[in-house]
Amino acid sequence: MLRIRVQAPGYERACAIDDAGGFECAGLDAGLYAVTVVDSPDPHRILCHGMLVDVSPKAASEEVVLVLGLETTVTVRVLSDPDLQPVQACSVVVESTRGPAVATGKTDGQGSCEFSVAAGSYRVYAPARDQGQSIEVSPRLINVKAPGPPVSVELLVPQRQAETDLVDIALVDLEGHPVPGFVTLEGAVADPNVEPADRFSFPEPTFQPPGGLLGSACDASGLLGRRFIWRKDAQNAEMTLILEPGTTIVGRAVGVDRKPVAGARVSLETLMLDNRWTGLPDPLIAATTDDDGYFQLQGVSVGPRVRAMAFLGTLSGRSVSFDLKAADVADAGEIVLAGSQPGSGIIRGRITDEQDSPVANRAIRVGMGRASQNLVTDADGYYTLTNMPTDRPITITVDVPTYGVWSRTTVADDYACDFQLVPQGWGALGQEAPPLFADTWFNHVPITLKEVRGRVVLLTFRDFRMDGDPGLATIRRLLADFGSKGLFAIAVYNHLSGGGGVAQDLVTAHITGVFEGAPIAGILDSDPALVADLMPPGRPPGVAAGATHWLYQVHERPASFLVDKKGIVRYLTPKENNLREWIVKLLEE
């Protein structure tokens, strides 16, 4: 079906074409608009180059004439650089140089994508993002004649690191047209300065709970959106999110006596893939009940099933669950707020590790360090907290060696507060190794990890008071066996507190002594007080570490990382376990 698309920054409208070939788009504000003809079910076609129309506030109307011509097939083949292998599922753009017309597609299993375009000049490229900015990879200029012979063009794109799995997300409207906007995903670091785009790629979050991770997307105007749940099921799989107008949710909070409850806070919970409910991460989706107990949640994006939750002091309650429809009003009905006496609340949950094994017999801390004899996980990782206050949020904290300190804030309403712990440094696995920030280098001139690409790097975080650690003997043997074969070792020492720097001869003597002269570079990590802007937000309280420790998420030493020849973190261990096997494997790659 052919339609007219009218676009401007933050504005897009599709207009029908009548039997006489005419169309009308009324109610436009003054400004510059792109007008093109599109084939709704086929984004691979360019029927005409379109034109830019300057709508004047003084003009009653603007007349636009778009001429459709014959089309010619353009085949785009994408190859990886430097091995020239076909690249599957790669986005391709064909863009007119004479007008605003654009066609998009993705390569098939042979790395090819076909377009059908009118005669004219076009730019062909693979879109990508670099440091939050949209870039064009391998742009080519082609001239197409119609009628004319088919045109073929090849694009060379840098080979994607196989070790880094990506979450690729495309944003489209109901007609299937790309829509610039924004995407957020739990566990994925978002660039606060990112520009609107119709495609996003995130490194796969390392924390992947069974129920998936909650995300949201919206267009640049914020009027269209969608909530979604991501759970890994295929490497580098792309999600296409259809953005639709938001929904309004209405309802009423009442007490057990059916009288209205004013001033209650209302938010939403989402049903995850493991049938657990989780709160929406967006604090803007919240409301307060009025004097009659009524509330409205506006601009809620369509997506997974939701339910409304209301609470006021010791009173809380939830609505029935329901699905959302675009541009609709959903009635959550009455939420009955039932109370309990302070100190009568219950919190229960389970603590597991990165392999879903129970974390057994570990002490649990509640609130500000207050402990109780029953706050210990059982053999299956379960715990139950009783006599908890119900009138305030409660922070549950567990501290596990080599995993660090983990916390969750919940309320004592007798529903699960589960933890899944992952080892320190887990977030660096599969990612490009973060840079090193050093106050001082010892036994080696200052270098960057990029300068030692082509070698396997053993990055080990140590303490000055670990002379008796048997792990040091392991590292000495590894350097003796593999130092001449491409293994490079760097020892990272945390900045010592107490004022004053560490004398170079003292550190050099320490490294020389504990490693018995082994060829290892040493660095003294940066002062935490001087590099706050380099560290990620949300630092756990009471932990002081330099920037390198924070970038690698190291809270407890020793900890050792292996970085492969391409600069990707491939392995980590707290006690030098399996380092030899991994070094042999990485040196052979």
Distance CA 439, CA 447 (A): 13
- Provide CATH code, domain 345-420: 2.60.40.1120
Q: Would you state the pLDDT for residue 226?
A: 93
- Alpha carbon 297 to chain centroid distance? 26
Q: Where are the domains of the chain?
A: 1-123+140-150, 166-245, 247-339, 345-420, 426-588
Beta bridge partners of 75: 114, 152
Q: Would you state the pLDDT for residue 106?
A: 85
- b/e map of 486-496 (b: 16 or more CB within 10 Å)? ebbbbbbbbbe
Q: Would you state the pLDDT for residue 12?
A: 65
The encoded tokens of residue 549 equal 């420790």
User: pLDDT truncated to tens, each residue of the chain (589 aa)?
Assistant: 677 888 776 566 777 788 888 888 777 777 777 888 887 666 678 888 888 887 776 666 678 888 888 889 999 999 988 788 888 878 889 988 887 888 888 888 889 999 999 988 888 998 876 654 567 888 888 989 877 889 999 999 886 544 456 788 999 998 889 999 999 887 676 665 678 889 888 777 766 676 788 889 999 888 899 999 988 765 446 789 999 999 999 999 998 888 999 999 898 988 888 777 776 555 567 889 999 999 999 889 999 999 998 888 767 888 988 999 998 999 999 999 876 544 456 777 888 877 778 888 877 776 634 444 356 788 888 888 777 776 667 777 777 766 766 767 777 764 567 777 777 777 788 888 988 888 778 778 889 999 999 999 999 988 765 455 677 778 888 988 999 999 999 988 876 544 344 455 565 566 666 666 667 888 888 766 655 554 444 444 334 567 788 778 787 778 899 999 999 999 988 778 789 999 999 999 9
CATH entry, 426-588, from 3.30.70.2660, 3.40.1030.10, 3.40.30.10, 3.40.50.880: 3.40.30.10
- Provide CATH code, domain 247-339: 2.60.40.1120
Beta-sheet strand order (sheet of 91-96): 102-106, 91-96, 120-130, 133-144
Q: Would you state the pLDDT for residue 505?
A: 58
308: number of Cβ within 10 Å: 25
Distance CA 313, CA 264 (A): 8
Select from 583, 237, 555 the least CA-distant residue to 422. 555
**Contact by Cβ (8 Å): 138, 157:** yes
One fold for both 166-245 and 247-339? yes
Assessment of whether the complete model's pTM goes beyond 0.85:
no
Select from 153, 77, 79, 150 the least CA-distant residue to 116. 150
Query: Which burial class, exposed, middle or buried, applies to 529 when counting CB atoms under 10 A from its CB (0-12, 13-18, 19+)?
Result: exposed
Helix axes 470-482, 579-588, angle to 10 degrees: 20
**CATH architecture classification, 166-245:** Sandwich (2.60)
